[in-house]
Amino acid sequence: MAIYNNQTAETITIHEAARLLSIHPNTLRNWEKRGVMVPVRDPKSGYRKYSQEQIRSFLLRGKSAKLKLYWGYQAGVNLRLSEHELAKRTLDVGVGKLLSTVPDKDLDTKFFNNNRDALARGVKIRFIRDLSDPIQKDKAEQVRGLGIQTRDGKVGGMTFAVIDLRYVKLEFPSDNPDYRLNILIDDPETAASFANFFETLWKVGSRGLV
C-alpha cells in the first residue's frame, strides 16, 4: 500500500487517510470514537487532520491486535446476540444459498421478529438474497413487507452481515443444523472490506459479479 509522502503536507484530510488505508471515511470517524486512531482538529476549520506518522504507525502495527473472533455452533450458543440484536445503527445482510431445501417455519418467524424489532429501534437495514435459492424468496418478501430495502443478487454459499461498520458476522451453512458455523469478527477494517463487497453486490444486483 502506498504511503502519502508529500513533504509539503504534514497532515492529511480524513478522505486522504481513508484512501491510503483502503477504508471508508466513516470507519475513521468510528475509530476516533473508539480511540483507535484519533486525529487532530484544524483550529480554523475544525476539520479532522491525520499525520503521516499516524498512518505509517497504523500500517506497521497491522490489524492483528484489533481483530477479535467469536465463533460457535448454531447462533445463540457462543454468539449470544444475533446480528439484528447487535446492530444499533446499520445492518447490511447478504443471504447466501442454503443447502437445505426444506423451509423452517420457526427460523422464518424468528427472522421476521428480529427484523421488526431492529427496525423499531431505528436500525437501517438492507437485505440481499441469493436469487438462485427459492427458499430465500419468502424471506425477501417478509422483509419487503416490513419496508426494508431488498435486492436479488448472487451472494454465493456464505451468508454475511455488516453491523454498524464495526462487526462482520459470517455463517457457513450445513445440512446438519448442529454444524452451522457462525463467526463474529470485531474489527472495523474487516467490516469496511465487507461493506465495500456489499455495496458492489447491491449495485450489480441480479447481474452478479464477473
What is the rounded average pLDDT of the residues 91-101?
A: 71
At residue 124, the pLDDT reads 94
CATH number of 11-61: 1.10.1660.10
Domain ranges of the chain: 11-61, 68-207
What is the rounded average pLDDT of the residues 23-30?
A: 87
DSSP H stretches of helix in the chain: 14-21, 25-34, 52-61, 83-86, 105-120, 134-145, 188-204
At residue 175, the pLDDT reads 56
> Residues 178-199: pLDDT tens digits?
555 677 888 888 888 899 889 9
> Residues 104-146: pLDDT tens digits?
677 678 888 888 999 999 999 998 887 766 666 677 777 888 8
CATH number of 68-207: 3.30.870.10
At residue 8, the pLDDT reads 36
User: Is 68-207 the same fold as 11-61?
Assistant: no
Whole-number Å distance between alpha carbons of 206 and 77 = 34
